[in-house]
Amino acid sequence: METLLLSRIQFAANISFHILFPTITIALAWFLFYFRVQHNRTGDEVWMRAYRFWVKVFALSFALGVVSGITMSFQFGTNWPGFMETVGNIAGPLLGYEVLTAFFMEATFLGIMLFGINRVSNRVHTIATFLVAVGTSLSAFWILSLNSWMHTPTGFEMRDGVAFPVDWWAIIFNPSMPYRLAHMLVASGLTAAFLMVGLSAYRLLKGDHKPAPRLALKTGVYAAALLIPLQILLGDLHGLNTLKHQPAKVAAMEGLWETTEGAPLVLFGLPDEEQKRNHFALEIPGGASFILTHDWQGKVQGLNEFTDEHPPVAPVFWGFRIMVGLGFLMLAASWLGAWQLWRRASVPPWMLKVFVAMTFSGWVATLAGWYVTEIGRQPWLVTGVLSTSEAVTTVPGGNVAISLAIYLTLYAGLLVAYISALFLIARKAVLVDRDEEVNTLQDQYNPMVRNEGGAL
């Protein structure tokens, strides 16, 4: 049990750190492509200035995503040997397809995107940026296909305790894959949008009054304002799909213990697994049934029907509420910001401070949603096929504890360094812009000074 618990914590730490960076780069690559196309279309240099700033953020995020992703693959052999032994015939090819079709494309054209801006034509550079964006999305496609298959496995058969593929189409496009992929892609869009808004607001508060940060702020705000209603809709559809295939997870999300017709929506409560009840519950009568079945008296299964095969309730319950709460906060901030931009073509300083505070709100919402998804799958690693306890390593817990401590220390240092680097890049951009402004003023007045000097 010690090895199992520590291995789960270690995997959670690794995936939590790793997912931060693809969540940014998947959508940020498309923002960069948009900036590039707009520059080619209009010839306005402000689009290229925005591109040059945000491509630095992309490169830094991409590098950390690649490095942290390597440790993820190591864990399949070191901490979870039973995973590959049982489902390696399916997981291995899907991971291989991600490398062959997505990572190679990203790595190949990333060099042109980063270093070829003054060495290749606009068309070639734009195509390279587009292909990098395609690569990041294709990478998400394969990884989420595998992850979704672990939740809703189809298209395989078991032979002597080993899974063998019989229908790759059913494996790749398993029942939860379209919903999970769409939900994650939009989450990436929101994460990148609020990062763009937050850093741009930070530059404006530091006195950077050039058009580029204002343009990036406007782009991020409008993108977030459009994406968050779509995310709410996709979240509802994903929830209905989860209710069909993983009802125990939904019961944990709702904090529902007994199968109920007209199940209440628990806005707040303290789940108690020992007493199988919620303390201090604030509820909307029939709300959960209406959301999940679209009927105020609809029947929703409770946790007590799943005995020992339901996930830990508290982390799933609270993770879901953090994700939803941040979603509505994003909705309010983006719509208010969009209204301010539409009405005044700018946002007031207090709103800029709100945007800075929400720079990494997409990270928090994504992690909360990811915990709901992954903890909600317990006690299964592959639903109905392989339990988590069956896949874990047999090495002593002390060995896992040592590697876990190393990972946590390294990740904490890297995360602090990454965030510090982002704001350092933003501050340097402010200084560069100020220097350019001074140089521009000097160029305007130098002829006059030279003429006066000549007269004297």
Mean pLDDT of 186-190: 94
pLDDT digits 0-9 by tens, 149-167: 999 999 999 998 888 999 9
Contacts of 338 (CB under 8 A, 6+ apart): 221, 222, 225
pLDDT recorded at residue 445: 38
Query: Lowest mean pLDDT: which of 2-6, 168-172, 349-353?
Result: 2-6
- The DSSP bridge partners found for residue 163 are 158
Rounded to whole angstroms, how far apart are CA atoms 390 and 382?
A: 11
- The DSSP bridge partners found for residue 283 are 266
* pLDDT over 70 percentage in the chain: 94
Name the pLDDT band for 362 (thresholds 50, 70, 90): very high
Of the spans 10-19, 33-42, 426-435, which averages the highest pLDDT?
Answer: 33-42
Residue 439 has pLDDT above 80, yes or no: no
pLDDT digits 0-9 by tens, 89-144: 898 889 888 888 877 787 788 888 888 888 888 899 899 999 999 989 998 999 99
* Coil, strand or helix at 153: coil
Residue 441 has pLDDT above 50, yes or no: no
Mean pLDDT of 373-401: 85
pLDDT recorded at residue 71: 78
Name the pLDDT band for 76 (thresholds 50, 70, 90): confident
Mean pLDDT of 166-172: 93
Q: Which amino acid is at 99?
A: V
pLDDT digits 0-9 by tens, 203-228: 999 988 888 889 999 999 999 999 99
Average pLDDT, the chain: 86
- Phi/psi at 283 (nearest 5 deg)? -125, 155
Residue 443 has pLDDT above 50, yes or no: no
pLDDT recorded at residue 1: 66
Contacts of 81 (CB under 8 A, 6+ apart): 391, 393
Name the pLDDT band for 434 (thresholds 50, 70, 90): low
CA dihedral 233, 364, 422, 27 (to 10 degrees): -30
Residue 347 has pLDDT above 90, yes or no: no
Q: Measuring CA to CA, how many Å separate 142 from each of 61, 90, 139, 451?
A: 20, 12, 5, 67
The secondary structure of 335-378, three-state, reads HHHHHHHHHHCCCCHHHHHHHHHCCCHHHHHHHHHHHHHHHCCC
Name the pLDDT band for 180 (thresholds 50, 70, 90): very high
pTM recorded for the entire structure:
0.88
User: Peptide bond before 447: cis, by omega within 30 degrees of 0?
Assistant: no
- The DSSP bridge partners found for residue 284 are 265
pLDDT recorded at residue 290: 86
pLDDT recorded at residue 453: 35
Q: Which amino acid is at 432?
A: V
pLDDT digits 0-9 by tens, 5-16: 888 888 888 888
